[in-house]
Amino acid sequence: MDTKSLARSFIYTDWTLIETQFEPDKLHSRETIFTIGNGYLGTRGSFEEGYVRALPATFIYGVYNDVPVVYTELVNCPDWLPLVVIVNGDRFRLDRGEILRYERQLDLRYGILSRSIRWRSPSGHTIDIQFERFASLADEHVLEQRCQLTPLDFDGLIEVQASINGYPENQGFNHWENIDQGKTEHGIWLHSRTRNSLIDLAMGAKMTISGTEASLQVNTAPGYPTLSSTFLAVAQQTITVEKLITVFTSRDIDTPVTGALEKLAHLPDYTLLLNDHKQAWERVWQQSDIVIEGDTTAAFAVRYNLFQLLIAAPWHDDRVSIPAKTLSGFGYRGHIFWDTEIFLLPFFIFTQPKVARNLLSYRCHTLNGARRKASHSGYKGAMYPWESAVTGDEVTPRWSLPNDFYAEDVRIWCRDREIHISADITYAIWYYWQATSDDEWMRDCGAEIILDTAIFWSSRVEYNSQSARYEIRGVIGADEYHEFVHNNTFTNRIVQWHLEKALIVYDWLRQTFPERAQDLEQKLQITSEVRSCWQDIIAKMWIPYDPSTGLIEQFDGFFQLEDINLKDYEPRQKSMQTILGIEGANRRQVLKQPDVLMLLYLMRASAEFPYNQKTLQANWDYYAPRTDITYGSSLGPAIHAILAADLGKLDEAYKRFMQAAMVDLEDSRGNTKEGIHGASAGGVWLAVVFGFGGIQLTENGPVANPHLPSNWTRLKFKLHWRGQWHEFDLHQGLGTGDKGTRGQGGQEDKGNLSQTLSASLRFPFFASSSQSESEANHNPDIRGVIFDLDGVLTDTAEYHYLAWQKLADEEGIPFNRLANEALRGVSRRASLMLIVKDRQYSEAQIQEMMERKNRYYVELLKNITQNDLLPGAIALLDELRQAGIKTAIGSASKNARTVLQRLGIADKVDAIADGYSVQKPKPAPDLFLYAANQLGLEPAQSVVIEDAAAGIEAALAAGMWAVGLGPVERVGAAHVVLPSLAGIKWADIQAKLNDAAKQKNG
C-alpha cells in the first residue's frame, strides 16, 4: 500500500509519512510538516542536533507576548529538543561528515516522530543514530526524547549533551527573560518569564543512559542548562539515551518550577510513558479517524490533515483557540481568525465535541475584548476582532511594512472592514448547539455572544431611506481581493441570518431559562425596541438577488467591474493579486476565494435562502471560473469541492479536494514553512464528510447521500450527533444511480435508529419544535397533503408585484418592492386597499382596478414554466403519489388552475381548492376544509403546507396538521417549521409530525 513519489522523497503508508532523504533547501517546510503536539503545545520537526538557519519552535497555548506592528504573538517557548552527540570529538551535524542513510518518519497513529541516520564523522567513524520524540497525549506536561547510538566500525568516546535552550526566538525575537535555573538530584531546570505578558514557564529535564557506564555532569550556562555525559561506546553495541522533559506555565499552576520538578521526580520510565501515550491516541482516533480505500494518497493525506487538527486541539483549555497556522509555525503570529469557527470547528463538533466546546468558550472569554473593539469603533455590543489573541481585542496589523528603504507601506484593512467574523461565530455556535443540544453552554455562553453581536449589527447597519432598505457599507467580504465594497451579499445575508437566530435564541432563553434571559436583557439592554429593530433589519436587509436567474451579485457594482478570464493568465505560480496588484484585483471580477458561493455553502446545511439547486448552479457557473482557486486563499478549494460534489461535478470536486489535502505535504503554495494551513485541514474533513460522504443533517441524525470519487472503494467515518455516535461505511457502486456512485447508507453505532438514503431529512431549526403549538394527537394518521400554491410550490410573488406595480404606476400611486412586502398572503381586494390607502375610489373603480391588476398578472403568468417550481416540490408530489398519499391545492388565487397547468403539475394533484371554491378567505378554515372534503379526508388526516401566517392560522382553525415554510417569525405557529421543501422527503415530514405529536402529549 505504499505510494512513493521520488520527486518529493516522501512515502505515504496508511499511517506513516516517510522522508527518505535530507534536503536542506526544504528545511523549513519539513520542520512544519513533521510537527508533533498534544493540544497543550506543538513542536516543529527541527533536528535535535540543530542546523544552521533552522527554525525550531515550541508553541504553548495561551502563551502570547507583545510585539510591534502585530501587537501580540504566540511565543516560541524554551526549546526542549537540544540533544548534541559528539563522536570522538566530532559533533554530529548533518552539514559535516557524510550521511550514509537517512530516514525520518512521522507516525500519525501515535504522534511519534523518529529519525534514523547512518553517519560517517569527518574523522571517519561510522555510527547509527536513531532519534525518537513525542509529546505525551496522556499527560500534556510531559515530553519525551530517545536517542539510540550504535557505533559501527569503531570503539570510542561519545559525549551527549542534553539541554533546555532558554534562547528560543520568534524570527529572531526572544520573548523570554531568564529568571533562574538550577539542578536537582533528578536533573536540570529553567525558569523563564515572558517580557511583557509576564507568563512564567518552567521546564525540567532528566536524562538516563543505558547500555554503557556513564555518569552525568551538569553545566549551567545562563539560560542553557545542560546535562552531559561522556562514555565509552563499543562497536555494534547500542547505547540508549532517554531525555524526559516536564513543562508548566503560570497559566497552569501558581508555581511552575515546583510543578515541573515534582512531575519530573515522579515520572515513570520511557516505555510506560509511551504506552499511556499510545492508548490516548487510540481513543482519539477511534472517534475521529476516516478510512478511505482505493486511494492511498488521499487516505494518507486525509489522516495527515486530521492529525494536524488533533495535535492542535486544546483538549483541556477553554481560554484558547486554534491559530490559523495551528501550533506549527510562525505565520500569522498565532492569531485566531474565522478559520476556526467556519472551517475547523465542524470536525470537532462531530468527532470531539468537548474540544468544540472549548474552542467556542474562547470566544466567550474574549467577549469583553469584542466589546472594547465595538466601543473603540463607535458601535454598540460586541464586535469580534478579525484577528484575535488572548483578550479578544483586535490584533490585526494595520500595516504590511516593506523592507525596501523607499517602498510604500501597505495598509491592511481587515481590522476595519472584514466584519463578518461576528456573524461567523454565531453561525458556529448555532450549529454546535444543533449538533450537541448543549443547552447549558448555550445558556451560559452562547446566547450572550449571539445577542451582544446582534446588538453590534443593529448599530453597524445603515438604513437607506431612499431605497427603504438596510445596507452594510464599506466592508471586505469573504473575498479579500475587494477591499472596500458596499452590500457584500455574503455579509448582508449572514447578518440577516444572525439576527433571525438571535430572535430565536432570545425566545428560547426566555422560555427555557427565564432568569438568565432576564439577566441578559438587563445586562445587554435588550428591549422590545431592540428586538423590533432586529426584525425590521431582517425584513429590510438588502440582498441583491435576481429571482429569475438565481444569480447573486457579490456586492454593489460587482457586475460592472472589468471582467477577467483567468485562463489568460495560465500557467501561473502566483496569486492574481500579486499579478494584478492590489488595485488591479480590486477593480476586476476576480475573487480570492468563494464569497457568494461561501454564502451558499453556509446556507446549504439548512437549505436556507438563498441556497437551492438553481441558485447554486447559477452562481457556481458565474463565480467559480472567476475565483483564484489555485493561488488565492487556501480556504477556497475545500468549499469548491463540496459545492462541486453537490452539482455532480465529481472530477472538479476531487481535484479541489486533493488541492486542499496536499497543500502542505506538497508545499504547493510555497508557504508551508510558515505553518500548517489549518483551515484547509478542516476543509478536508468537510469535503470528505459533506462533499463525498454527502452527509445531511436531520432531526434524527446525520444521513449519507454519498458521491464517492471513482477510485474510492470505501469511505468510513463516525459522527457524533446529540449524544449518539453514527458510523458510516460507504461503498462504491452499490445501488448505482445517475451519478455513477451510490453509497451504502450509514449504520448506526450505539443508538438503534435505522438510516436509509430515503430517510434523509434536511437539518431543521432546532428551536422550531419548542414553538409548535396545536392540539394534535399522538401518532397522527396522515392521508393527505394540502399545498398552498404561492410560496410553497412556486413563487408568483414577483408576478403579483409586477402587476401591482404596473397598476400603481398607471394610477400615479407611490408603490415599490418594500410596500409589496406587506401584501404577502393578503387577498386581492385587501391588497388594493393597502395600496390606495386613504385615496377615495368608487366601488366600480375598485373593481376595475382589481380586474386590471389581475389581467396584468394573468398575462405575466404566461411566462411561468416548470422552471418556476420551487426546489423539492415536484419530487415531493411524486413521492406522495407513490406513497398513496392524497394531494390537493389550497390556494386563494383565482388563477390557481392556470398556474398549475403552466407549471406542469395539474395532473399531479388530486384536488384543487382555489379562489372560486369558498367565500371566506384565509385565515378562515373554509378553503382547507373544502380541499379535505374533495379528497374525502378528515381534518386530522390532513396536513397543510403553507408559507403565510394566515394560512397556518387557517389550517390550525381547520383542525389540521400544519407545516410552515419560512422563518419562525412568520410560520412559527405551525407544528413543524421547515425552511423550504428543498430536499424534503415525505418520511422527514412524518417523523417531524410524530415528534410534534409526542411533544404535545408528553
List of residues contacting a copy of itself (CB under 8 A): 50, 52-53, 66, 68-69, 71, 82, 84, 161, 163, 165, 167, 169, 172-175, 177, 179, 195, 219-224, 226, 228, 372-373, 376, 393-395, 398-399, 401, 403, 405-406, 409
Q: Is 781 a catalytic residue?
A: no
Nearer to a copy of itself among residue 68 and residue 812 (C-beta): 68
Taking the mean position of all CA atoms in its chain, how far away is CA 422?
14
Residue 757: strand, helix, or coil: helix
Q: Is 608 annotated as a binding residue?
A: no
Cα-flanking dihedrals φ and ψ of residue 585, to 5°? -70, -40
Q: Is 788 annotated as a binding residue?
A: yes
CB of residue 258 to a copy of itself, shortest distance in Å: 18
Q: Which amino acid belongs to residue 154? A: F
Nearer to a copy of itself among residue 391 and residue 713 (C-beta): 391
Q: Which helix (H) or strand (E) holds 920?
A: none
Nearer to a copy of itself among residue 175 and residue 731 (C-beta): 175
User: How far from each other are the two terminal CA atoms of the chain, in whole angstroms?
Assistant: 55
Nearer to a copy of itself among residue 67 and residue 445 (C-beta): 67
CB of residue 222 to a copy of itself, shortest distance in Å: 6
Q: Which DSSP symbol is given to 319?
A: S
CB of residue 171 to a copy of itself, shortest distance in Å: 8
Nearer to a copy of itself among residue 195 and residue 881 (C-beta): 195
Strand stretches in 678-748, DSSP E: 696-698, 701-703, 714-721, 724-731, 747-748
Nearer to a copy of itself among residue 500 and residue 674 (C-beta): 674
CA distances from 639 to 322, 352, 561, 595, 623 (A): 20, 22, 24, 10, 13
Cis peptide before 68 (omega within 30 of 0): no
- Triad 661, 664, 667: Cα angle to 5°: 120
Tell me the Cα Rg of the chain: 32
CB of residue 251 to a copy of itself, shortest distance in Å: 21
Q: Is 825 annotated as a binding residue?
A: yes
Strand stretches in 884-949, DSSP E: 886-890, 911-913, 942-946
Q: Is 824 annotated as a binding residue?
A: yes
Instruction: Give the Cα separation of 913 and 923 in Å (integer).
Output: 15
Q: Which helix (H) or strand (E) holds 348?
A: helix 345-351
Q: Is 568 a catalytic residue?
A: no
CB of residue 630 to a copy of itself, shortest distance in Å: 30
Residue 439: strand, helix, or coil: helix
Cis peptide before 610 (omega within 30 of 0): yes
Taking the mean position of all CA atoms in its chain, how far away is CA 664?
19
Cell (9 digits) for 90: 566530532
Nearer to a copy of itself among residue 223 and residue 745 (C-beta): 223
CB of residue 68 to a copy of itself, shortest distance in Å: 6
Taking the mean position of all CA atoms in its chain, how far away is CA 628?
20
Nearer to a copy of itself among residue 48 and residue 595 (C-beta): 48
Nearer to a copy of itself among residue 75 and residue 792 (C-beta): 75
User: Is 151 in contact with 237 (CB distance < 8 Å)?
Assistant: yes
Q: Is 980 annotated as a binding residue?
A: no
Nearer to a copy of itself among residue 416 and residue 664 (C-beta): 416
Q: Is 853 annotated as a binding residue?
A: yes
What are the helix (H) ranges across 437-575? 439-441, 447-460, 489-512, 514-524, 528-540
Residue 139: strand, helix, or coil: coil
Q: Which amino acid belongs to residue 726? A: H
Nearer to a copy of itself among residue 399 and residue 559 (C-beta): 399
CB of residue 169 to a copy of itself, shortest distance in Å: 6
User: Is 966 in contact with 539 (CB distance < 8 Å)?
Assistant: no
Q: Is 892 annotated as a binding residue?
A: yes
| Active-site annotation holder among 628, 790, 868, 910 | 790
Q: Is 922 annotated as a binding residue?
A: yes
Q: Is 668 annotated as a binding residue?
A: no
Q: Is 826 annotated as a binding residue?
A: yes
Q: Is 395 annotated as a binding residue?
A: no
CB of residue 411 to a copy of itself, shortest distance in Å: 10
CB of residue 180 to a copy of itself, shortest distance in Å: 9
Q: Is 827 annotated as a binding residue?
A: yes
Helix, strand, coil abundance in the chain, percent, nearest 5: 40, 20, 40
- Pairing mode of beta strands 961-965, 942-946: parallel
Q: Which helix (H) or strand (E) holds 222?
A: none
Cell (9 digits) for 864: 411561468
User: Is 78 in contact with 201 (CB distance < 8 Å)?
Assistant: yes
CB atoms within 10 A of CB 730: 27
Q: Is 804 annotated as a binding residue?
A: yes
CB of residue 440 to a copy of itself, shortest distance in Å: 32
Kindly report the length of the chain: 1002
Cα-flanking dihedrals φ and ψ of residue 882, to 5°? -65, -35
3-state secondary structure 955-996: HHHCCCEEEEECCHHHHCCCCEEECCCCCCCHHHHHHHHHHH
Q: Is 133 annotated as a binding residue?
A: no
CB of residue 409 to a copy of itself, shortest distance in Å: 6
- Pairing mode of beta strands 98-107, 112-120: antiparallel
Of 266, 261, 144, the closest CA to residue 207 belongs to 144
Nearer to a copy of itself among residue 257 and residue 267 (C-beta): 257
Cα-flanking dihedrals φ and ψ of residue 244, to 5°? -110, 135
Residue 356: strand, helix, or coil: helix
CB of residue 300 to a copy of itself, shortest distance in Å: 35
User: Is 506 in contact with 449 (CB distance < 8 Å)?
Assistant: no
| Active-site annotation holder among 788, 868, 914, 988 | 788
Based on the number of CB atoms within 10 Å of its own CB, is 824 exposed (0-12), middle (13-18) or buried (19 or more)? middle
Q: Which DSSP symbol is given to 743?
A: P
User: Is 110 in contact with 99 (CB distance < 8 Å)?
Assistant: no
Q: Is 811 annotated as a binding residue?
A: no
Catalytic residues: 788, 790
Output the known binding site. Answer: 788-790, 804, 823-828, 831, 853, 891-895, 922, 946-947
Output the known binding site for Mg(2+). Answer: 788, 790, 946-947
Output the known binding site for substrate. Answer: 788-790, 804, 823-828, 831, 853, 891-895, 922
